[in-house]
Amino acid sequence: MHITPDNKLRKLIVVGDRVLIKPTTPSDRTASGLYLPPGVAEREKTQQGYVIKTGPGYAIPVPSEPDESWKPEEEKVKYIPLQAREGDLAIFLVGGSTEVEYQGEKYYIVPQNSILLLERDEEL
């Protein structure tokens, strides 16, 4: 799922070092073919999904220079960007994330430090 101009997700603004992730549909069977009861996937410690939006990153303050009051006032905060990018497949810790429902769909808001692994298609 990608954000398009007519998509309602483009209105969302992710704050700070957080990432909005759309979880992939968990399998209801094990590798050997046994069916799992409902709720087992939610109790897992890790989850995977696609990165939909990212925040600006980690905020770092910009030191002010009192000698140069003649300069125009610039933005007081700069950001260290996040590693995650839109479209990446992320494996993350469920315990460090917040589950939300938006427009009838389930998403996770995950801080960068709860993401364990990213898979990126470099051709994009």
Instruction: Give the pair of three-digit tokens for residue 70.
Output: 């003649």
What is the band of 49 on the pLDDT scale with cuts at 50, 70, 90? very high
pTM score above 0.75: no
Q: Is the pLDDT of residue 27 over 80?
A: no
**Closest listed residue to residue 88, CA positions, set 21, 41, 13, 3:** 21
Contact 18, 55 (CB under 8 A): yes
Do residues 70 and 100 make contact, with C-beta atoms less than 8 angstroms apart? no
Give tens-digit pLDDT for 90-101. Answer: 999 988 899 999
Q: Is 78 left (phi over 0), alpha (psi -120 to 50) or beta?
A: beta
